[in-house]
A and B are shown apart, each in its own frame.
Chain A
Amino acid sequence: MKGKKWVPWAFLALPLTMYSIWVIYPVGRTLFLSFTNWDGVSRTMRFVGLENFKELFNDPYFITSLVNNFKWLIGFALICVPAGLGVALLLDQKFRGNKVYKTLIYLPMTLSFVVIGQIWSWILEPRSGALNSFLALFGIKGISWLSDPSIVTYSLIMAASWRQISYAMVLYLAGLKGVPQELVEAATVDGAGSWKRFWNVVLPMLRPATVVAVTVSIIDSLRAFDIVYVLTRGGPFYSSSVMANYMYIKAFNNYRMGYGSSIATIQFLITLGFIVFYMRNVLKREAERE
């Protein structure tokens, strides 16, 4: 198609403009603010260089938030993704009611995180919540899901996993449909047991789905905010805080927009690192295929 080089640009103009206004500009401004001490309210601000970042890395609550994000990452990538795969494998077989199960497990994906948070705050209620009442049937004393600082983050990850597993399941169900049956049958004919069939034939064919599932899970874990904010606000005393939550409290509750911006910048850079890694891997594979 010769000439008319401006045609693609014409099509891209509108999305690029919107992207610039609502994504690029705010990111740039946040980066700028992280070098100031703006309180989000006054009309003036002072440039403070790297002071916010220096304070950040000496701030025990920020370190806690960072560590918690890492726990979320492990939870999402190493537990939710395999669990989603397991559920998808189970539901991929033909049996009565299999569509009903798929719908039920898919349900959390239709709910907003705030609603999920509200539901789980009732489930995890220490005295009369569903979980502790259930455990009481087995004689297990009530666990302080949300007020024990040593387990609160795990409780939050549990609540968020409810949805993350269903997300992974959907990805894998779609991926399994793309596994050619002839390959699996050929393996059976060759005498491969069901585990060998899975590990050597099915799983490698699911690689694209796995890459997407793991990457999105990592990014979601770094972004975690809604569940934390609705259930505990990062409490008790910041023990369940994650970067997004801590950033919000610092910027909007404590009137330290500059400091909050520096937290957002760090979060952005970490996420960017993972995305770059993903893009290079995926694009490399796409290029190799061509």
Chain B
Amino acid sequence: MRKIILAMLLVSMALVAMGAQKLVINSYMSDPEPKRVFDELVGQFRELYPDYDVTVNTFSHEDFKVLLRTWLTASNPPDVVTWFAGERMRYFASRDLLEPIGDIFENGFEADFPKAFASASSYGDKIYFVPQSWYWWGVYYRKSTFEKLGISVPVTWKQFLDVCETLKSNGIIPITIGTKYLWTAAGVFDYFNMRVNGIEYALKLTNGEIPYTDEGMKNVFAYWRQLVDKKYFLDNATSYTWQEAANFLFTGEAAMYLMGQFIKDVAPESVKEDLDFFRFPVIDGNIGLYEDTPIDGFMMPANARNKEAGKTFLKFIASTEAQAYFASELGRLAANKHVPAPDAHAQKGLDMILASDGVMQFYDRDTDPEMANAGMNGFVEFMTFPNRIETILRNLEAERNRIYK
């Protein structure tokens, strides 16, 4: 009798093992908060689909960006990976390294997701990317510092300069920034570019259609230079990662940080309530209000082994419930348009974006990767040696000619 039961047990285990489909997900959510929430989401998926054997591999955010290339070209890549919308995704889609996943949207992409996200998620007429969350960028600041010094939130460029001067004369670092990993400087560049030249110009630039030596570009740096010359930025910014620079904001040594909403991911609990943001100041009243709204999400390598399992996961991630959970836990905005803003802070961000005239992804998500790298190095060099701007722009123009020819 015992032998029969044992045999049945072994056979059923074998059947379960054969039936259990594997699913491998590689994620770049290495900061503690997003990692926790994503793990919980995967837990929910496991409960809904117990037949799947799900493995999540988390990699440090910066290293993931370099490793993705090796996975996509391997013969046994993960089934689902986190990534960014826009040019960053299209770079791989155009080389046939991604699987089109448009079929997971039963009623079509636009039934659940904003039309504005469609182009950032597609290449040609196929959809390769499932948006999960997006966030706005703004000038984050310490409410208590502003209150103590009687500073009101600036709207125009002149008001912003006055705020910086007040802060500096009171021994507070006006703007903190960590440029060890370059992209923070690209954020500053994007905002000056959008405020000075508008979104059409900015999009043409990322498309490689505008010379870096153009007058419009020189104007961007002329305004940026006003902040650099008066030393309103954190000293030795190149030594710090963006999180290390954010520490100065959290300790109160600095007052402002041009950053994305995810700064709240690393803010200590005691400081979270004291953080608020305002729209980057208006420089030219005739130019519309444009913002950076990078979109994060998921995609599937073309060589993935378990495409069915991967698509099931992508469908789950696109669902209103999963999107609402992720957004509410982290205070982000869900890409799924049926999900309301999770809290007052996110509502404020959403309102700011809805009141804007247009949005861009981000300099290094919309430009060819090599051009982006050269550009960002140029921005960081400018912040250290503003006098070199002519040479920097000339070198960038030479790069642009080489890359886009």
Contacts and interface: CB of A to CB of B under 8 A. Distances in A.
Nearest to A42: B95
Contacts of A255: 69, 91, 369-370
Given A147-B239, A237-B381, A232 B97 contact: no
Contact of A236 (B369, B373, B381, B395): B381
A148 B97 CA distance: 41
B239 A237 contact: no
B373 A235 contact: no
Interface residues of A, number: 27
A267 B369 CA distance: 25
B62 to A, nearest CB: 9
A43 B95 contact: yes
B369 A144 contact: no
B66 A147 contact: no
Nearest to B373: A254
B96 interface: yes
A125 B378 CA distance: 24
Nearest to A126: B236
B180 A233 contact: yes
A237 B377 CA distance: 5
A144 B69 contact: no
Contacts of A41: 69, 72-73, 91-92, 95, 97
B238 A40 contact: no
Given A40-B73, A41-B95, A249-B373, A233 B380 contact: no
A225 to B, nearest CB: 14
A149 B384 CA distance: 9
A209 B179 CA distance: 43
The main secondary structure of chain B at its interface with chain A is helix
B314 interface: no
Interface in B169-200: 179-182
Interface string B232-257: 00011111000000000000000000
Contacts of A146: 236, 238-239
B236 A147 contact: yes
Interface in B69-93: 69, 72-73, 91-92
B238 A236 contact: yes
Q: Which residue, of B97, B236, B237, B395, has the highest number of chain A Cβ atoms within 10 A?
A: B236
Contact of B377 (A125, A126, A238, A252): A238
A144 B95 contact: no
Contacts, number: 69
Contacts of B238: 146-147, 232, 235-236
Contacts of B369: 253-255
Interface string B50-79: 000000000000000110010011000000
B69 A40 contact: yes
Interface string B282-315: 0000000000000000000000000000000000
Nearest to B94: A42
A124 B73 CA distance: 38
A239 to B, nearest CB: 9
**B interface, size bucket:** 20 to 34
A237 B185 CA distance: 12
A254 B399 CA distance: 12
Contacts of B384: 147, 149, 236-237
A232 B236 CA distance: 12
Interface string B335-361: 000000000000000000000000000
Interface string B87-129: 0000110011100000000000000000000000000000000
B377 to A, nearest CB: 5
A256 interface: yes
Interface string A130-154: 0000000000000011111100000
Nearest to B73: A41
Interface in A219-276: 232-233, 235-238, 249, 252-256
Given A41-B69, A232-B180, A233-B180, A144 B370 contact: no
A253 to B, nearest CB: 6
Contact of B66 (A42, A145, A238, A252): A252
Interface in A86-122: none
Q: Which residue, of A60, A237, A249, has the highest number of chain B Cβ atoms within 10 A?
A: A237
Contact of A254 (B72, B181, B370): B370
Contacts of A40: 69, 73
Interface in B380-402: 380-381, 384, 395
A124 B236 CA distance: 12
Given A232-B180, A254-B370, A254-B373, A237 B380 contact: yes
Interface in A7-66: 40-43, 60
A232 B380 CA distance: 13
A256 B369 CA distance: 10
A202 B137 CA distance: 66
A126 B65 CA distance: 28
A232 B237 CA distance: 12
Contacts of A145: 239
Nearest to A146: B239
Contacts of A149: 384
B35 to A, nearest CB: 20
Interface in A171-223: none
8 contacts: A41-B69, A144-B236, A144-B239, A146-B238, A235-B180, A238-B377, A254-B370, A255-B69
Given A41-B95, A235-B238, 6 more contacts: A41-B91, A147-B384, A233-B181, A253-B65, A254-B369, A255-B91
The 7 closest A-B pairs by CB, nearest first: A236-B238, A147-B236, A237-B381, A254-B370, A147-B238, A126-B236, A147-B239
